[in-house]
Amino acid sequence: MSGQPILEIDGIEKHFGGLAALGGVYANVESGKLTAIIGPNGAGKTTLFNVITGLLPPSAGRVRFLGEDITDRPVHEISRRGLARTLQIKSVFNGMTVRENLWIAAQSRDGVFKPFQRASQSKRANRVADDLCEELGLGPLADQQAANLSYGDIALLEIGLALATEPKLLLLDEPICGMGPAETEQTVAKIRELSQRIDIVIIEHDIEVVFDVSDEIIVMNLGKVLARGTPDEIKSDADVRTAYLGDDDDA
């Protein structure tokens, strides 16, 4: 962990017709820090993730990952370079077991998915699936169908699907959304633990979670970066309090 930018976002704009969802975003994500992106609904957070990961082409600007320009690269190519993400809407294979989900994701890292290949023929995928079950605390659920998991365990499984591709940077889009207190605590603890070995950027609406888990926070508003800093700096930023956190003393 060198403290050097792992991700550079240079003037990214995204227009949908006459609507500017992103109006020129400039931000660096430093390696070795867990970075959170927050902002009101419609601030452009998920759109920014979509541009970074190749789901949407930018209208202007460049994205560099590990010093390499990845702007307009295909999704699979960006993933292969070591950038993975989860989605707001959970997307696991409900008819398969936890371990089968992880095995498929791990095998996809090898380039070509072979759905009829025996599991024993892919030793690396087997190892990755088993290791992730252990690391994420999903070992006791390895043979359960994903459809039968709790919401919190589904969130952990989706994080596992992203980790199975062995990324260098993990983007998490609202991983806590819809969870109760116990599941939130479990997932936050796991994200904090994972951040010790992999760089993470998280979009999250739960401000208590953001302040608890983040090293640095980027605040977006109206498609631009409004502020960035440590949790303490963001808490005391007057512009942030007005735009997002509110002006009362309990914000």
pLDDT, tens digit (0-9, with 9 covering 90-100), for 156-200: 999 999 999 899 999 999 998 888 899 999 999 999 999 999 999
- Per-residue pLDDT of 89-122, as tens digits, reads 667 889 999 999 999 988 876 554 555 555 454 7
Would residue 211 count as lying in a domain? yes
Q: Crossing angle for the helix pair 151-163 and 181-194, nearest 10 degrees? A: 20
C-alpha distances in Å from residue 176, one per residue of 12, 124, 129, 183: 27, 30, 23, 8
Residues 179 and 153 in one domain: no
Residues 152 and 250 in one domain: no
Cα separation, 250 vs 35, in Å, equals: 23
Output the pLDDT for position 89: 65
Q: Which amino acid is at 43?
A: A
Q: Is 217 exposed, middle or buried (0-12, 13-18, 19+ CB in 10 A)?
A: buried
In the chain, the number of structural domains is 2
Residues 1 and 76 in one domain: yes
Cα separation, 156 vs 193, in Å, equals: 13
C-alpha distances in Å from residue 245, one per residue of 71, 144, 234, 248: 32, 40, 10, 8
Would residue 109 count as lying in a domain? yes
Range of the domain at 97: 93-166
Would residue 87 count as lying in a domain? no
Residues 117 and 188 in one domain: no
pTM: 0.88
- Of 117, 135, 166, the position where a domain reaches its end is 166
CATH number of the domain encompassing residue 245: 3.40.50.300
